[in-house]
């Protein structure tokens, strides 16, 4: 399934359609900034003809270093963020509040015209937070700060019913009218060029690249030994659970075609959120099944996902394996730790919190998980970033108790997670939005790719079984990249 807008696709495929209207709206908005005397965000949103989001992403990569995509195929929802009109970076334990405050200050005096009733349309921030409070120092993560979110200059939003284009411009005090108009017309020209180059969808083709494993961090014997130490720590009652990650570096026989990889992830994981964030030659991308939080006003949703088993070869085996997963004491314990943490974290700040009595089984392409969806209503409108700050990292990617698990991970894991397992997502000018947990992910740079996977370790975790589980999780992205030599 691809993210499409049937109405737009059938009615209008003219290159640049909607851009003329965009400029006509932007110019009078720009005039309104002259009386403010302060830096001002100006943004306008118009309906446009549908473009394949992956094709638009591919076209934008050729002319801009900062391009990002967000696809939820089953929901028919997609975002393509192009360029950056404004960026916020932050580091340290209060990076979430730094981002929320900077964004709130910026949009307070914004001059905005468009459709406020369409989710994801209008000026928004798109980006992510690192797993840890400090930025990773490895070259793999260059450009991926501990918090970096950008306001796209151009944003295409695709819903099941419509397609929208948002243009955003930052106007500084003293900018001459001619300069302001030139910026608006440049955005017009850029959109017309991109729309013209994205008239044909990126085809779905099998992955043909040959990949070899260049490095694993750590190697299998060391990783299994660490699993045993984690399980021992849990068994002694030191903690309830800790998540151990590993990294696999791959080298391809040619440059990896990122848009083609995204198309394959979309086709094989329509129930997942497919994301990609570009920084220069590097792209952090993945297909995660795990929503960290989604908010609209005071209403929110989150998911507790943990416990895993492989897919069966047919429906009957799938059912049997799913039943085994539900009956697995080890997996139920691992997943219950996540549910309990969410309950303890959210109960003090909610008027209502709905938690199903038992988990369900979620089936993905290569793996099945236990999952519990939680819904609730916040007492105060803290916004999506406020929720993310409370929830990250959940025990699904960190452990419990949180601080003790993170201390153990920092001492034993011996790799930089960067944005792996961190929150990636978007928020609109009201502070609402959605963030996912960036698992089943990796960094692609030319012929090189670094993939990451982690496993939740409890007292009776078996090191060999955890190793095999990590291979299942790596397979999601690896098979979209190419064929890995054994």
> Is 330 tagged catalytic?
no
Distance CA 196, CA 176 (A): 31
CA 26 to chain centre: 30
Catalytic residue status for 210:
no
- At how many degrees (to 10) do helices 177-197 and 53-61 cross? 120
Q: Name which of 276, 207, 314 is nearest 443 in CA terms.
A: 276
Q: Is the peptide bond before 393 cis (omega within 30 degrees of 0)?
A: yes
User: How far apart are alpha carbons 294 and 302 in whole angstroms?
Assistant: 7
CA distance 17 to 10: 14
Distances (CA, A) of 95 to 102, 133, 389: 11, 7, 9
Q: Is residue 246 within 8 Å of 215, Cβ to Cβ?
A: no
Please identify which of the residues 145, 290, 333, 466 carries the catalytic annotation: 290
Q: Report which of 191, 203, 267 is spatially closest to residue 23, judged by C-alpha positions.
A: 191
Look at residue 51 and give its three-state secondary structure.
coil
Contacts of 30 (CB under 8 A, 6+ apart): 42, 169, 171, 177, 180, 181, 184
Q: What is the DSSP string of 218-239?
A: S-HHHHHHHHHHHHHHHHTTS-
User: Could you say which of 66, 241, 434, 466 is catalytic?
Assistant: 241
* Rounded (5°) CA angle 475-443-417: 90
Residues with catalytic roles: 241, 290
């Amino acid at each position: 399934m691809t993210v499409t807008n049937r109405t737009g696709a059938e009615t209008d495929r003219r290159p640049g359609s909607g851009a003329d209207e965009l400029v006509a709206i932007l110019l009078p908005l720009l005039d309104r900034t002259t009386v403010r005397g302060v830096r001002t965000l100006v943004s306008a949103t118009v309906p446009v003809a549908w473009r394949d989001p992956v094709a638009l992403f591919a076209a934008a990569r050729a002319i801009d270093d900062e391009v990002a995509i967000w696809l939820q195929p089953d929901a028919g929802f997609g975002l393509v963020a192009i360029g950056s009109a404004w960026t916020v970076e932050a580091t340290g334990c209060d990076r979430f509040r730094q981002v929320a405050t900077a964004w709130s200050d910026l949009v307070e005096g914004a001059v905005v015209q468009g459709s406020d009733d369409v989710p994801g349309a209008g000026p928004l921030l798109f980006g992510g937070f690192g797993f840890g409070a400090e930025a990773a120092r490895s070259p793999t993560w260059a450009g991926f700060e501990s918090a970096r979110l950008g306001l796209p200059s151009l944003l295409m939003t695709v819903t099941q019913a419509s397609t929208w284009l948002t243009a955003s411009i930052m106007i500084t005090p003293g900018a001459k009218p001619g300069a302001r108009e030139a910026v608006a017309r440049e955005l017009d020209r850029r959109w017309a060029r991109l729309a013209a180059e994205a008239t044909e969808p990126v085809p779905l083709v099998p992955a043909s690249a040959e990949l070899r494993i260049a490095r694993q961090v750590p190697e299998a014997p060391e990783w299994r030994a660490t699993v045993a130490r984690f399980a021992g720590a849990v068994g002694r009652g030191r903690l309830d659970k800790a998540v151990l990650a590993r990294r696999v570096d791959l080298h391809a026989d040619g440059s990896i075609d990122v848009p083609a990889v995204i198309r394959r992830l979309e086709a094989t994981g329509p129930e997942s959120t497919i994301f990609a964030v570009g920084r220069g030659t590097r792209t952090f991308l993945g297909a995660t099944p795990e929503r960290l939080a989604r908010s609209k006003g005071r209403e929110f949703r989150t998911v507790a996902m943990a416990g895993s088993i492989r897919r069966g070869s047919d429906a009957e085996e799938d059912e049997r394996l799913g039943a085994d997963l539900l009956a697995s004491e080890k997996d139920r314990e691992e997943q219950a730790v996540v549910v309990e943490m969410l309950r303890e974290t959210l109960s003090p700040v909610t008027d209502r919190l709905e938690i199903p009595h038992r988990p369900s089984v979620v089936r993905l392409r290569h793996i099945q998980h236990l999952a519990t969806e939680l819904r609730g209503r916040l007492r105060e409108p803290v916004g999506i970033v406020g929720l993310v700050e409370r929830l990250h990292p959940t025990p699904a990617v960190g452990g419990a108790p949180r601080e003790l698990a993170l201390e153990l991970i920092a001492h034993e894991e011996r790799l930089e997670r960067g944005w792996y397992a961190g929150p990636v997502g978007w928020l609109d000018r009201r502070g609402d939005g959605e963030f996912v947990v960036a698992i089943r992910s990796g960094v692609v740079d030319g012929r090189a790719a670094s993939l990451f996977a982690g496993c939740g370790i409890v007292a009776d975790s078996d090191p060999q079984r955890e190793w095999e589980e990590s291979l299942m999780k790596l397979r999601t992205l690896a098979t979209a990249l190419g064929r890995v030599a054994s």
